[in-house]
Amino acid sequence: MTYEMTVDDVTRLTPDVKQFHLVAADHSFDFRPGQHTTVQFEQDGEEVVRPYTVTNLPGTDELTLAIRRYDDGTASVWMHERERGDTVEVGDVDGNLYVRDFDSDVVFVATGTGITPMAAMLRDYADRGDGDAHLFVGEKTREDLIYRETFDRTAASNDNVDVTYSLSEEDWDGATGHVQHRLTDELDSLEGRDFYVCGVPQMVVETTDLLKDEGVSEDHIYTEGWEGDEVADEDEDGDGDE
């Protein structure tokens, strides 16, 4: 099923990421924080369908999407051309990323716009969770960080929430390097936690492998599930490096 939504507001979050606030005329969205919708449109006679995570909480007629523009992209370029008052067709909200157990300690690991499901999930866990949550965010530079002020406020106002940022292409007073390598340094133990991972496919695969090597059961590692195939395709084409 699809829904016609109106662009109510557009906010630039970073030089290449815009946030789109969409409003439906006659529908209230019920979903689990962390899940995604699809943006659908026709271009050059072909239907284009792309998934984007919803960053707001359910129960309203609104959806908020943070989308990075890629110069060679199709949907991201099209979305970045949308302005207030334009209409956008979206699909149902669904997906594999959402908090499974609010009594368990949780770890969120994200790079790039993979942070978008974590934004909703962390907010949901801060409201409902009984354990500890640690968010790990990997980016190239501070300029690329999305929702940093929001995450910092959440951590400051919730004793059970911690946030670690790791930059791979900028020297600063925080952590550096690929974010997945921070897990064993920052966490006193990996046992008894649920791990939610989203972002660059190579990072997702490497993080999953690292966690398994450290003894974390696959039953406690949650991803969208398609990343392994994506990395395999890139490796076959000789483009597997992050």
Range of the domain at 116: 106-223
Q: Residue 188 belongs to a domain with what CATH number?
A: 3.40.50.80
Q: What's the rounded Cα separation, in Å, for the pair 35 and 240?
A: 27
Contacts with 108 (C-beta within 8 Å, 6 or more apart), sequence order: 118, 121, 122, 133, 134, 135, 136, 196, 197
Structural domain includes residue 12: yes
Task: Give me the residue label for tokens 């005329």.
Answer: 25
Closest CA to 203 of 182, 173, 189, 217: 182
Tens digits of residue pLDDT in 105-158: 999 999 988 999 999 999 999 999 999 999 999 999 999 999 999 999 999 999
Tens digits of residue pLDDT in 201-221: 999 999 999 999 999 999 999
Structural domain includes residue 139: yes
For the four alpha carbons of 176, 178, 184 and 186, in that order, the dihedral sign comes to: positive
Domain co-membership, 188 together with 89? no
pLDDT of 235: 44
Q: What's the rounded Cα separation, in Å, for the pair 192 and 200?
A: 25
Structural domain includes residue 169: yes
pLDDT of 113: 87
- CB distance 186 to 136 below 8 Å: yes
Quick one: pLDDT band at residue 241, thresholds 50, 70, 90? very low
pLDDT of 224: 84
Structural domain includes residue 234: no
Average pLDDT over the chain reads 91
Give pTM, 2 decimals: 0.89
Backbone angle region of 199, left / alpha / beta, with phi > 0 → left and psi within -120 to 50 → alpha:
left
